[in-house]
Amino acid sequence: MEFGKILVFMGIALIVIGLFISYVGRLPGDIYIKKENFTFYFPITTSIVLSILFSLLLYIFSRFFR
């Protein structure tokens, strides 16, 4: 695989992930705790969804660039 194709793929993947995060925000299942002087946010559901999407993108592009 050429280095240019890898860079294009990574750029497209980052754009897709960035758009997904900016439009979706917090999903049900994400842990969000807010108290007086403490805020804790752990995006577990968002992480799982992004992992699945990124895995699918890697699979599609690996099949396409063979």
16 by Cβ neighbours in 10 Å (0-12 / 13-18 / 19+) ranks as: middle
Domain count, the chain: 1
Domain range for 39 is 3-64
Mean pLDDT across 8-26 = 78
Q: pTM score, two decimals?
A: 0.56
Q: Is the per-residue pLDDT at 48 higher than 70?
A: yes
Q: Are 62 and 29 in contact (CB under 8 A)?
A: no
pLDDT at 8: 84
User: Per residue in 28-44, pLDDT tens?
Assistant: 888 889 999 999 988 88
Confidence of residue 45 (pLDDT cuts 50, 70, 90): confident
**Rounded distance between C-alpha atoms, residue 20 and residue 15, angstroms:** 8
Identity of the amino acid at 60:
I
**Rounded distance between C-alpha atoms, residue 40 and residue 56, angstroms:** 30
